Amino acid sequence: MTNDELVIRAVEKLRMLEERRKNVPEKLRTVTVDQLPKRRVRDAVVIDFEREQGGGRIQILMDRESGDMISATYNPPKDACDDTTI
């Protein structure tokens, strides 16, 4: 895909997510993709770290050229939110 095609696809996906936020209070959904006109395409790589036994997962999105971190997410183990452990 070209960079322009990627931007178009990204905007479509973000608009879909905005539709899902309709039940979120107004002050939490005030920013939309249309209010963010500065856009750039980066060549990125996603690196997943996880255990074989399901001990959670960390996912890091990095700029392929510079190695700069773009974002990271942590998904705890499925049993981490078990009511008996809180």
DSSP secondary structure of 18-37: HHHGGGS-GGGS---GGG--
Q: How far apart are CA 50 and CA 41, in angstroms?
A: 28
Domains of the chain, by residue range, sit at 1-38, 42-86
**Residue 10: its pLDDT value, please?**
92
Could you tell me the maximum CA-CA distance found in the chain, to the nearest angstrom? 50
Cβ atoms of 77 and 55 closer than 8 Å: yes
Model pTM score:
0.62
* pLDDT per position as a tens digit, 29-72: 677 888 888 999 999 999 999 987 777 899 999 999 999 999 99
Q: Is the pLDDT of residue 77 over 60?
A: yes
Q: How confident is the model at residue 80 (pLDDT cuts 50, 70, 90)?
A: low
Cα–Cα distances in angstroms (integers) from residue 7 to residues 10, 11, 37, 64, 86, in the given order = 5, 6, 11, 18, 42
